[in-house]
Amino acid sequence: MTPELEEKIDRLPAGPGVYLMKDRAGTVVYVGKAVSLRSRVRSYFFRSGDTRAFVPLLEGILGDVETILVGSEKEALILESTLIKRHKPRFNVMLRDDKSFISLRLDKTRPYPKLEIVRRHPPGREKDGQIVHFGPYSSARSIRETLRVVNRHFQLRTCSDRELSDRSRPCPEWHLGRAPAPCWLDVPPERYAQSVREAELFLSGRGDELLDRLRARMAEAAGGERFEEAARLRDQIRAVERSLERQRMVQGERVDQDVFGFERGGPHLSVAVLIVRQGRLVESQTFDFSRQEFPTEELLASFVGLYYDGGANPPRELLLPVPLEGADALAEWLSERAGHKVAVLCPQRGEKRRLVETACANAAQAFRDREARGQDLEETLARLQKALSLRRPPRTLECFDISNFQGTEVVGSKVAFRDGRPWKDGYRRFRVKGVAGQDDFASLYEVLRRRLAAGLRDGDLPDLLVIDGGKGQLAVAEAALRDVGASVDVVSLAKSRIRDGGSTAERVERSPERVFLPGVKEPVVLPPHGAELYLLERIRDEAHRFAIGYHRKLRDRRTLRSALDAVPGVGPARRRALLARFGSLSGVRAAGLDALCELPGISRPLAERILAALGPASPLPESAAGR
């Protein structure tokens, strides 16, 4: 920070308000709200606050911080939403980032109200219930299908206000039996108002209440021998029942809820919203966002605020995967908009927590679909090439990891990514043969030398080698490259560490992940929520997972062999047969007596001796696999 900016931050007020972060060109890049402006803004820059994620990001772009003091948390929430829509900051969630944000509007102030598709939440008489919005819908296709069903079975007009006032003949919808034609016929306003109310119940997900009304009307029409009207109501009831059959009961209690879940990878964020009405899952929507480099909690809070400011009707309960700062102010604001009490909850157990987990699973699936489409890959590779001074964009990456248990069964793993995604054909496992005891550096050297020699021979070398570790592991990789005579870009990725004196009872402060480059003294710190670091972390974690899995398999086999050695009647041939059939110690235990007797040469008494020798003890826990 410049001295002027540091002095300005020191003078910030302690009350609630909104802060605008601007780059050096004066463009607003982020808008946030705070209960205490001084504490929140200082937390981005001083070690006593939440500095891990933002110092690498902000120090390169920040030019100024502007603050607006308000009277309450609720006012800060409303102002934040307004300023986000006005400035469209690059680091704030914008609901129209990747998808149109559309809803259905029912304006009951107009004669013979009709449903209209709108793309924003216009000002109007929402508070007295005269203008009602349904949605939002995440695609034009879904909203048009909903509109088609409503117009067909509830028969609201589709003509414009101008056509309503001066039509000279009935509209085509009337001839098809899909509209009452108030533009031509004298339709009783009370009968039309009844259709409007029933359409509201259908769109609000209150299907059971709607069915009771329709069945009562059908019985009345049939009793009055108005058989044509009764038949139309019968068809309407069947349509509503089909809609309810597609909706799954997800709650024992009949409550209206919006359930939020998210999945995040670097700057990419997917948010899922489950619409639950009267205990039924009515709809699931997902929204994808890019270039989101601020904490997930802040981004989710921005999304929720903009979601309801954009037209969604607040239900009785909001279920969230993480607690949000200012949840009480959010609940107060939503309660005023909805005209009833709205609870903002972060459930930890029970049915409500299960709903949140379902929403998160939907968000994860949307995130995987986005990855499969390869969106933003070219930009990510270009930025990674620039940040790490690579010779070319790293379209093919390989990462290596070493795993052992107290110096035994030392193994190495190699995983490969192509175009940002795992390439399973490039995965390899190595048993370290030339190293005695626990020597991770020598083991890594052996694995790398074998891989690089084979790659030179076959003309198959990656664009970038990623080594799990710090400067020492990077030096080993450089030595292997020199000795083999290969020329490949190589970096090492060191995990974050707990900072000395940086932990409190409420929070553990960690250093950022660091990338070490050959010939460069200081590590590179990539943006903490950036796509570049996310890619490196993914391949590093996958290499570790792959090595641990191979190590555990070898360990189980060794344990099984040593356990069987003491069983009279089990020699090398029968031991190999057991391993071939059941694979591991736990596999033999789980097989049971009858399955063991099915193997050639294993009698029932021998099978009993085998199971007795293995005993009930569990295999070594997963956490015992050291590195």
Nearest to 627 by CA among 545, 562, 504, 570: 545
The more confident residue out of 204 and 173 is 204
Q: Which residue has the tokens 């998808």?
A: 99
Region(s) of the chain under CATH 1.10.150: 565-624
Confidence at 365, pLDDT banded by 50, 70, 90: confident
Given this structure, which CATH class describes domain 565-624?
Answer: mainly alpha
**DSSP codes joined into one string, 34-45:** ESSHHHHHHHTT
Q: What is the mean pLDDT of the chain?
A: 77
Backbone angles phi, psi at 2, to 5 degrees: -75, 155
pLDDT at 475: 92
Task: Tell me, yes or no, if the pTM score tops 0.75.
Answer: no
Range name among 19-33, 58-72, 234-248, 530-544 with the lowest pLDDT average: 234-248
> Which CATH code of 3.40.50.2020, 3.40.1440.10, 3.40.50.11540, 3.40.50.620 fits the domain covering 3-87?
3.40.1440.10
Q: Is the pLDDT of residue 186 over 80?
A: no
Range name among 75-89, 301-315, 411-425, 567-581 with the lowest pLDDT average: 567-581
pLDDT at 617: 45
Given this structure, which CATH class describes domain 257-372?
Answer: alpha beta
Give the integer Cα–Cα distance in Å for 82 and 66: 15
pLDDT at 626: 40
Give the integer Cα–Cα distance in Å for 76 and 130: 28
Give the integer Cα–Cα distance in Å for 490 and 474: 8
Region(s) of the chain under CATH 3.40.1440.10: 3-87
Share of the chain above pLDDT 90, in %: 11
Collapsed DSSP state (helix, strand, coil) of residue 437 = coil
Whether the CB-CB separation of 269 and 289 falls below 8 Å is answered with: yes
Share of the chain above pLDDT 70, in %: 75
Number of helical (H) and strand (E) elements in the chain, helices listed first: 20, 19
Confidence at 500, pLDDT banded by 50, 70, 90: low
Q: Is the pLDDT of residue 463 over 90?
A: yes
**Which of 59-68, 129-138, 237-246, 391-400 ranks highest by mean pLDDT?**
391-400
Q: Is the pLDDT of residue 318 over 90?
A: yes
Helix extents (H) in 110-245: 140-154, 161-166, 172-175, 189-203, 207-223, 227-245
Region(s) of the chain under CATH 3.30.420.340: 379-545
Whether the CB-CB separation of 525 and 512 falls below 8 Å is answered with: yes
Q: Is the pLDDT of residue 452 over 90?
A: yes
Confidence at 530, pLDDT banded by 50, 70, 90: confident
CB atoms closer than 10 angstroms to residue 194? 14
Mean pLDDT of 324-353: 88
Backbone angles phi, psi at 134, to 5 degrees: -125, 135
Q: Is the pLDDT of residue 503 over 60?
A: no
CB-side neighbour CA atoms (13 Å) of 566:
9
Confidence at 344, pLDDT banded by 50, 70, 90: very high
Whether the CB-CB separation of 603 and 379 falls below 8 Å is answered with: no
Spatial CB neighbours of 572, under 8 Å, sequence gap ≥ 6: none
Q: Is the pLDDT of residue 447 over 80?
A: yes
Whether the CB-CB separation of 403 and 551 falls below 8 Å is answered with: yes
Q: Is the pLDDT of residue 124 over 50?
A: no
pLDDT at 627: 37
Mean pLDDT of 488-493: 92
Given this structure, which CATH class describes domain 379-545?
Answer: alpha beta
Range name among 3-7, 566-570, 588-592 with the lowest pLDDT average: 566-570
